[in-house]
Amino acid sequence: MKEEIIAYGHENITAKHRTTFQITKDEEISLRADCIIAVSSNKAINDLDEEFKNELRDDNSILKIIIKVDDLKDEIIAYGSKNLILNHDRDIVIRRSNFIDSRTLAIKSNKAAKDIDRRIIDRIRDRKKRIKFLLYIL
Rounded to whole angstroms, how far apart are CA atoms 6 and 8? 7
How much is the average pLDDT of 36-42? 98
Q: In the chain, what percentage of residues exceed pLDDT 70?
A: 100
Instruction: Look at residue 110 in the predicted model and tell me its pLDDT.
Output: 98
Total number of domains in the chain: 1
User: What global pTM score does this model have?
Assistant: 0.96
pLDDT tens digit sequence for 71-80: 999 999 999 9
DSSP 71: T
Q: What is the pLDDT of residue 43?
A: 98
Confidence at residue 31, expressed as pLDDT on a 0 to 100 scale: 93
Which backbone phi and psi does 131 adopt, to 5 degrees? -120, 130
- From the list 116, 113, 135, the residue with the least C-alpha distance to 47 is 135
| Residue whose C-alpha is closest to residue 48's, from 1, 108, 82, 9 | 1
Residue 94 CB coordination number (10 Å): 28
Its domain, for residue 14, covers 2-137
b vs e for 14-28, b when ≥16 Cβ sit within 10 Å of the residue's Cβ?
A: bbebeebbbbbbbee
Measure CA 53 to chain center: 14
Residues 83-133: tens digit of each pLDDT: 999 999 999 999 999 999 999 999 999 999 999 999 999 999 999 999 999
pLDDT reported for residue 114: 98
- Average per-residue pLDDT in the chain? 97
Domain CATH for 81 = 2.60.120.630
